[in-house]
Every structure is written in structure tokens, then in C-alpha cells.
Amino acid sequence: MDNSSLASSAFVALRPLTSSVGNNYEFLPSVNRLSSLSIFVISLGIFLALTKSKIWLNKTGSPALSTYEKPLWYPHKDPILGLDVLFDLARAVYNHRFLEFTAEMISRFNGTITYLSLGRQAVYTVDPANLHAMLSDRIRFKDFGHGPTRRQSLQPLFGSGIFNSDGAVWKKHRSTLRPMLSRVRTIEVDIFESHLQSLMQSVPADGSTVDLQPVFNAMALDISTHLFLGTSTNVLPYLFNSDLRGMRGQRFATAFDYSQRAVSGIDDFSLSGLCWKLLFGDKKLDESLQTIHSFIDEIIEQASKNFLEESRLPEFSDDKGQIFFYKLLGEGRSKEDIKHDILNLLLAGKDSTASFLASIWYVLCQRPDVCDKIRAEISPLQGQRPQLEDLSKFPYLRMVLQEGKLEFPTSLEKLILRTPTVLRLYPPVAINQRTAEVDTFLPHGGGADGKSPLRVPRGASVGYSVYAMHRLPEFFGEDANEFRPERWLENRQKTAYMPFHAGPRTCLGQQLSMCLATYSTIRLLQYYERVENRNEKPWQEKLGLNCTSRHGVKVALVVSRHAR
């Protein structure tokens, strides 16, 4: 999960730039006034200084690689550092148009563009063949890592956990976590239910306007902490009761949100705030990290005592072996190691899931016809909660659970109700980035038409946009930007569909998040008979570690008379 996934490619590309001017984009309008000549002179100066220090030069020159055709270069006005494109990207971020801007730019270059990022060769692509090569090709996969920029920036919060490591360290984390996340169990569905109950009891359903985005954000944190720490933050009920704010879970939630924004380098920092941080450091980040670490340390400490005594179990548990966190303790892992695994899972579980749930309801509140079809599909449940084993009895649900595969339910009509369309149009991990660990190549991006293999020198950053790839007309039709679930009846290809990525680093929480999305959609549609759209503005990106809606998801809810 990385719009970032973590530190998004955009911000990784921009990070050298933004870290020198901080995270403030207020300087951008003045950039317009700079003449090309002054940009050129500034670039030349910086370039000479950097060249002298030899820190920015790519290692190139592999004789085998020299036979590649020239890449399709971005037509830079600044051919030395490429500041022009970086300013354009920064402006797009500032205007919340980064996703659209890069999609438009890349469509002019046949899907892959090579450009200069502070004098260093970088690539941006939406070409599915390139993504498959980097993510799932058995040989190429090893040539690309998350890279040092992302590792360093996320280090304070995520340590060297699964998201923040490559090579042997990553393999070790993956092999520990994979078996624990590969199957969804009844206890997890029970946990979903308890937090959905909390949502239904807390969120006003009197026809007033409610923003569901913070609601899902809080619920996702409550569920993730419940699943991975055995103790929920329980912040959702307090969203609508300001008297109760300031409690411990709430403080953790606030600290977690702030640190994520701060380490991803994306925040609405003011110029004065930035100068302060440059001079005195980010005190709020230090305090937030302190809150987060002591919250988790205490729980780990208490749980390991209980674990050793084998007498007390977390109150919601009926089986210690089912508790994720206890399993890590049972494997004899160090407390520090466990803390980092937990933090990495909270990041994964919370934000991407919250973004997914919010997007589902952004779409559903505008499509009563789709809500009605789902209600018809789930009507045999007669308003009762589905059990885990029920989930596979519904073709629609099975389709959702089998998300990553090419299996389709026999009843094609029911396919119309599937939610993957939401993930196509609003993938939580909308953009991402890899760094070439060695001199290597990608299938496309070279030659005059960009369709020949592209040489990628060691150290080059390769940014990619899943958001733009999911909207490519050549894969999804001329109406690719429209929400039309029926397209999946005609078009079963998955080449350009990768909300969870693919290959050895594919998301470990697919089953869990698809199960939660399916279960919660059923439960909420059973409970609310009407979900009115109250969004006044069109969807606009809010990029962070995951992509969310800048204006939230505004609805009015009416409880079903059967549920009253």
C-alpha cells in the first residue's frame, strides 16, 4: 500500500525537491515568474555542484545495455536537472491533479516516459507490460526494490518492517506474516460485526449530512488494532461525541494519522511551519512517534506477560491460537520485531481498507440502482448477518472474494454487482514506485514509438500509476472513466487490473480486505434503507500513503424500518 505505496512515486520523484524546500508548495506560483534562462542557470549551478560531489550520477555503461534504442525522453526545457517537469509535477500535487496530470502526460508518450529528476534519469510508466516485468517477472522482479529514499523516509514510523525492506529482510517478514493473513476466519468476521454495530449505533441516521470517510477511517483503525494488537482503539463511537475525545485510543489515532502524513512527505504545511521544522525539527512528529510506540509497547508488554502466564486471554478471544498477535509472540520473535510487524500491518490494514470502503460508498450513494440489485442479491439472508461459510454461496460475493483470479460465477447477471469496479476506478494504492537495484531493462519505453525495450540504469526511479493504467481505453474501452460494472461481462482480461499489485510482493491482505468490504456492504445495506448522495463537489484526489477523496464521502442515511 503505497501511494507511497508507500511513498508514492510522485513524492519520491519530488522528494529531493520538496525536501530542499520542505513540503510547502506555496512557492509554486512564484516559479511561474522564473524565466527559462534563470532555471537553466540555477540548474547548471546545482548540477555542477552535484557532479563534483559525484552523488547523483547513475552507474551506467554496461556494454550489453548500450545496444538499447534511445528512450522516449520528455522534451525538457531544462535539459540539465529537469526542474521544469518537477515543478509541473509539484504544481499538479498542489492543485490535487497529480493523477490526472500524469495520466494526460503519459498518454502523449505511449505509456512510458523517461525524464530527468534532478539530473538523474527516471522513468514513469502506465504500461501493463512494464508493471508486470517489475512486479511479477521471475527474473526482473529482483532487479527492482523499494529503494533507499522510501526506506529512509518511512524508517521513523515503520522501522524495517515488510513495507520498508527489500531482499532477505523482506523475505523473512513475508514468510512470517503470510501464513497468518492467508485465510479469513470466523473470529475475524465477528470482529468486523462488532465494529459495524458500533458504526450503526454512532452515525446519525436522521437525514443529516454525514461524511463517511472519517467514519471508515476510524472503523478501519479500530478493526486493525483489534485484529493485530488484540486491543481496539475504539475511536469510532467518539467521532460523534466530542466530550469523549482525548482518550488514549483517540490520542493514538491522531498520532498515527499525523506521523503517516509527516513521513510520507505530504502535508499541508505552511511556509512558517516548514521553516520552524527546518530549524527546530518536527516536534509534533517526535511526540506522535512517542505516543504510538508507547501505546504498542505497553500492549506487547502486557500480552507477553499474559502469554507467559497462559492464564489470561484478550477478552474477545475464544481461542488464543487465533489471535494474530499471540502467534507472533509464540514464534519467539523479539518485542521490537513484533512492534515493527504490527506497525506495518496497521498501515496496510487501516488506510487502504478505509480508502476502499469510502470509495465503495462514494459510488453506491450515487447509484441507487446498484444498491437495489445488491439488496435483491442478499435478500435470502432476510436481514440476518451472513456467516463466513455463507459468503461463498452468493455468486456476487464469491466473485468479490475470488477477486484476483479469472474465475467467474456461472450467473453472469450477478456479476454486475461486483465491487472490483470500485477498485478499478479508485485504487487505494493509486501510484507507486520502484528503484532499479542494478542496470536492467523494461519491455517498453525505448525507441521513437516507445515500444522497444527500455534500458533502466541502476539507481533510476520507476514511478507507475495504477490509477491511470486502470483507465486505459485500450484495455477497458472508450468509456473507461465510467462506473459501469457490466463491462466485466464483456471484458475478462486482468492484464491492466492490479489494485493489489502482483507477483512476490502482492498484497497479503487481499482476502481480509475483500471479505471486510463484502461483509460490510451487506450489513450496511441491510441496515440502511436509503443512502442519499450529499456530495456537492466531484471526486478529487487527496494523496497520502493511500489515495482518498479530498472532499470526503457525504451522505444522508435512513435506517431500514426492519432494523428499527
| Numbered residues of the known binding site for heme | 507
Give yes or no for residue 174 binding ligand HEM (CB under 6 A). Answer: yes
Give CA–CA dist 156/289, Å, rounded.
Answer: 8
Give yes or no for residue 262 binding ligand HEM (CB under 6 A). Answer: no
Place of cell 555503461: 61
CB 438 within 8 A of CB 65: no
Sole binder of ligand HEM in the list 15, 140, 470, 505 (CB under 6 A):
505
Radius of gyration of the chain (CA): 24
- Report the candidate in 125, 114, 8, 97 with the shortest Cα–Cα distance to residue 469: 125
Give yes or no for residue 219 binding ligand HEM (CB under 6 A). Answer: no
Query: Facing residues of 463 across strands?
Result: 124, 433
H or E element at residue 524: helix 510-527
427: left (phi over 0), alpha (psi -120 to 50) or beta: beta
CB 432 within 8 A of CB 9: yes
CB 488 within 8 A of CB 415: yes
What minimum distance in Å lies between the beta carbon of 451 and ligand HEM?
26
- Residue 427 vs 457, nearer CB to ligand HEM: 427
- Give exposure, 206-224, as e/b (b: 16+ Cβ within 10 Å): eeeebbbbbbbbbbbbbbb
Stretch that binds ligand HEM, among 48-56, 182-190, 201-209, 495-503 (CB under 6 A): 495-503
Sole binder of ligand HEM in the list 82, 420, 453, 499 (CB under 6 A):
499
Q: Which residue is nearest to ligand HEM (CB)?
A: 509
Burial class (CB in 10 A: 0-12, 13-18, 19+), 426: buried
- Residue 457 vs 499, nearer CB to ligand HEM: 499
Give yes or no for residue 181 binding ligand HEM (CB under 6 A). Answer: yes
Give CA–CA dist 300/281, Å, rounded.
Answer: 29
Query: Facing residues of 556 across strands?
Result: 209, 532
What minimum distance in Å lies between the beta carbon of 373 and ligand HEM?
22
Annotated binding-site positions: 507
What minimum distance in Å lies between the beta carbon of 34 and ligand HEM?
35
CA angle 20, 23, 26 (to 5 degrees): 100
Give CA–CA dist 436/58, Å, rounded.
Answer: 11
CB 126 within 8 A of CB 472: yes
- Per-residue contact flags (x/-) with ligand HEM for residues 417 to 446, judged by CB under 6 A: -----------xx--x--------------
Sole binder of ligand HEM in the list 296, 425, 508, 524 (CB under 6 A):
508
Position 324, amino acid: F
What minimum distance in Å lies between the beta carbon of 256 and ligand HEM?
14
What minimum distance in Å lies between the beta carbon of 429 and ligand HEM?
4
Binders of ligand HEM among 336-355, rule CB under 6 A? 345, 348-349, 352-353
Give yes or no for residue 549 binding ligand HEM (CB under 6 A). Answer: no
386 CA to centre of own chain: 28
347 CA to centre of own chain: 9
Query: Facing residues of 4 across strands?
Result: 7
Reported residue count of the chain is 564
Sole binder of ligand HEM in the list 12, 93, 105, 177 (CB under 6 A):
177
- Per-residue contact flags (x/-) with ligand HEM for residues 301 to 340, judged by CB under 6 A: ----------------------------------------
- Residue 109 vs 426, nearer CB to ligand HEM: 426
Sole binder of ligand HEM in the list 81, 113, 133, 162 (CB under 6 A):
162
Size of the site for ligand HEM (CB under 6 A): 26
Query: Facing residues of 116 across strands?
Result: 121
What minimum distance in Å lies between the beta carbon of 174 and ligand HEM?
5
Give CA–CA dist 330/307, Å, rounded.
Answer: 8
Give yes or no for residue 507 binding ligand HEM (CB under 6 A). Answer: yes
CB 362 within 8 A of CB 539: yes
Stretch that binds ligand HEM, among 87-95, 259-267, 436-444, 500-508 (CB under 6 A): 500-508
Give yes or no for residue 191 binding ligand HEM (CB under 6 A). Answer: no
Sole binder of ligand HEM in the list 512, 525, 547, 555 (CB under 6 A):
512
Stretch that binds ligand HEM, among 136-144, 261-269, 369-377, 502-510 (CB under 6 A): 502-510
Binding site for ligand HEM (CB under 6 A): 1-2, 5, 162-163, 174, 177, 181, 345, 348-349, 352-353, 356, 428-429, 432, 499-501, 505, 507-509, 512-513
